[in-house]
Chain A
C-alpha cells in the first residue's frame, strides 16, 4: 500500500489540479458552448435552438462594431508596438551609458493595471482640459484633440494607451533577442563590408523571427482580452463606438440578461484565440522536435 502511494505520488500531487482543470476549464468551455445553443436570457435554460444565437450575434450591429474595432485595434496596436519596441531595442543595444535606467522607464507601464492606464489617459485626452489645452497654452491656438468623444476616433485612443502600456515590453523581448545574437556573425558581416543598416536588415532582423512571432502572439492575446482598458478609458463610448468583443460579451451577459447571446460571443472569442494559438503551438512543437 505504502509502496503504491510512493510510486504514484506525482500523479496524486497533480490530481487536484487535473480535476479542477477538467471541470473549470474544459467543462466550463463545454457548458458555455452548450449555453450558446440555447435561448437562455436571464437564467440558463436548456431549450436548444441550434445556431440561432450566432445568427442573432452576426446580425447585431453592435457586434459588428466590436469586431471591426478589434481588427483596427489589433492591427494598429501590434504594428506600432512592434516597430516602436524594435527600434527602441536596437537603439538601446548600442552600448548606451544609462541603459538600465532607460529600460526601467520604458517598462514600468507594464506593472500598472489597464484600469489605471485607462484612468490616466482619460484625463490626458480630456477634450477640454487635457492635451488640447496644453497645446493651446503652448501657443498652438486652435489645436483640437477630442478623439475621446468622437465616434470614429475613440477606438484610436485605446490604441494610444495600449501602445504606451505594452511597447516597453516588446522592447524588452527584442532586447533579449538582440543580446542573444552571435557576435561572430555581426563581425563577419562587418568584415564583408556591410553597413549598419544592411547588417540589421539582412543579418539581425531575420534572426529575430522567433521574437516577432512570440511578440505577435502575446500582443494579440492582450488585444483580444482587452476589456479593462476600454471600460476605464471610454466605457465603450461614445454610445458603443469603441466596444471590443470582450465588452460586448460583458454587457449582454451581465447588464442586458441575454446570456445565450453573451455565450455565443464568448465562443467566437475563443475560436479567434484558437485560430492564432494552434498554428503557433504547432510550429513551436515542430521546432522542438527537429
Chain B
C-alpha cells in the first residue's frame, strides 16, 4: 500500500475526481429516475420520492406502455409506433447513406467546374431551419399521394439527410490520396470500378459513422414525424408525446417513464455498442462542416 500523503497535489487530484464523479451522478440521475419510476406502482410513486428505490418492483408499467397505453384516441401502447419507426428508419438510413457515398465520392475525387459550388450549396442544407420547408413539402407529399404515409416520411428523411451523408463521405474521401485514383485510371479502371475496388474497401469506418448518425437523427426526429404522419403512421417520438399528454383516468408517471425508455432504447443501444463512432459522427458533422 502506498501511504497517502496529504500534499497539495493530492488534494487537487481528489478535488478533480470528486467534481467528475459528482457530474457523472448528475448526468446519470435522470436515467436512474426514469428507470426506478417505471418499476414502481402509482401508490409508491405518490408516497415515495424520485431517488427512492422501488420497494416491490413491477413490470406493469412496461407492459402497459408497450401494448395497452393510450396514445390519443387509440390504446394499443407504443408497439405499433415502434414498428412504424423501424419501417421509416431502415429504408431512409440505407438510401441516404448510399446516395451520400456516391455523392461524396464524386465531389471529392471527380471534381468538375462548379462541383465545389454544388457542395457548398448542399452543405447549406445541413443548417436551414426546417420550418422554411415544412409547408411546401407537405404540399408536395400531397401531390405525390404520400401524405400521412410511411413512404412519405422515408422520402422526407432521405431528402434532408443526404446533405449530411454527402458531407460525411466527401470529407472522408478527400483524405484518400488522389494518386490512387490516377493510377487506377491509367490501368483503365472507370468511375464505378475505382469506387468499387479502391474506395469501398477503405470505407467501413465512414459507413459506420454515417449509418449511426442517420439512425439516431431519424429515430429521434419529431418535427417531420408530427407534421407528415397520419393517425396510423406516427413514429415513436410522436406517439410518446401523445401518450404523455393523454390523460385518460389518472396520470401514470410509471407508464410515461417506461414509454420514454422504450423510445430511447434503440439509440441508447447504438451508443453503448458503437460509442466511438457516434462521437466521431457528432464531431465530423460539426467541426469539419
User: Do they bind each other?
Assistant: yes
Residues of A within 8 A of B (CB): 6, 9-11, 13-14, 16-18, 20-21, 24-29, 31-32, 35, 44, 87-88, 91-92, 94, 96, 102, 104-117, 119-124, 126, 129-131, 133-134, 137-138, 164, 168-169, 172-173, 176, 211, 214, 218, 221, 224-225, 227-228, 231-232, 235, 246, 249-250, 253-254, 259, 262-263, 265-267, 269-270, 272-273, 277
B166 touches A124 (CB 8 A): no
Please state if B279 and A124 are interface contacts (CB–CB under 8 Å): no
Q: List 14 A-B contacts (CB under 8 A).
A: A20-B159, A28-B133, A94-B16, A107-B271, A115-B263, A116-B237, A116-B263, A123-B253, A123-B256, A123-B257, A129-B45, A134-B50, A134-B51, A173-B286
CA A249 to CA B31, docked complex, whole Å: 32
CB <8 Å contact, A119 and B135: no
Given A92-B20, A253-B134, decide whether A269 and B129 contact each other with a Cβ distance below 8 A.
Answer: yes
Q: Which stretch of B55-63, B66-74, B98-106, B197-205 is in the interface?
A: B98-106
Indicate whether B137 reaches chain A with its CB closer than 8 angstroms: yes
Q: Is B83 an interface residue (CB 8 A)?
A: no
B29: nearest residue on chain A (CB-CB)?
A124
* Contact in complex: A227, B159 (CB < 8 Å): no
Residues of chain B within 8 A of A131, CB atoms compared: 50
Q: Are B33 and A124 in contact (CB under 8 A)?
A: yes
Q: Which of A17, A119, A227 contacts B122 (CB 8 A)?
A: A17
Q: Contact check, B106 vs A6: say whether CB atoms are below 8 A apart.
A: no
Q: What secondary structure prevails in chain B residues at the interface with A?
A: helix
Contacting residue for B220 out of A28, A113, A172, A265, CB 8 A: A113
Q: Which of B122, B219, B283 contacts A21 (CB 8 A)?
A: B122
Q: Give Cα distance in the complex from A137 to B33, angstroms.
A: 16
**Shortest distance between the CB of A31 and any CB in chain B (Å):** 4
* B230 beta carbon closer than 8 Å to chain A: no
CB distance from B131 to the nearest CB of A (A): 4
Docked Cα-Cα span, A262 to B134, in Å, equals: 10
B222 touches A31 (CB 8 A): no
Contact string against A for B residues 15-37, beta-carbon threshold 8 Å, 1 for contact and 0 otherwise: 01101110110111111011001
Alpha-carbon gap, A224 to B279, bound state (A): 22
Whether A113 lies near B257 (C-beta < 8 A) is: no
Name the interface size band of chain B. 35 or more
B4 interfacial contact with A, CB 8 Å: no
When the two chains form the complex, which single residue of A21, A96, A263 contacts B16, counting CB atoms closer than 8 Å?
A96
B190 & A232 in contact (Cβ 8 Å cutoff): no
- Closest Cβ–Cβ distance, residue A122 to chain B (whole Å): 7
Q: What 6 A-B pairs have minimum CB-CB distances, sorted nearest first? A: A113-B220, A10-B110, A111-B271, A228-B222, A266-B131, A10-B106
Chain B residues near A262 (CB-CB < 8 A): 135
Contact A21 B121, CB 8 Å, known A214-B286, A263-B135: yes
Contact of B28 among A9, A105, A211, A266 (CB under 8 A): A105
A266 CB contacts on chain B under 8 angstroms: 129, 131-132, 134-135
Q: Which residues of B are found within 8 Å of A231, using beta-carbon distances?
A: 222, 226, 241
- Given A21-B121, A35-B135, A116 and B287 contact (CB-CB distance below 8 Å): no
Query: Distance (Å) between the CB of A22 and the closest chain B CB?
Result: 8
Pair A123/B37 contact, Cβ less than 8 Å: yes
Contact B128 A133 (CB under 8 A): no
Chain A residues within 8 Å of B283, by CB? 172-173, 176
Minimum CB–CB distance for B20 against chain A, Å: 6
Given the complex, which residues of A lie within 8 Å of B256, measured CB to CB? 119, 123
Chain A hits for B34, CB < 8 A: 120, 123
- Distance between A155 CB and nearest chain B CB, rounded to angstroms: 19
Contacts of B163 in A (CB 8 A): 21
B268: contacting residue among A35, A111, A225, CB under 8 A = A111
**Cβ–Cβ < 8 Å partners of B287 in chain A:** 173, 176, 211, 214
- If the complex has contacts A9-B191, A18-B118, A119-B240, are A168 and B27 also in contact, measured as CB distance less than 8 A? yes
In the complex, whether B162 has a CB less than 8 A from a CB of chain A is yes
- B129 A123 Cβ-Cβ under 8 A: no
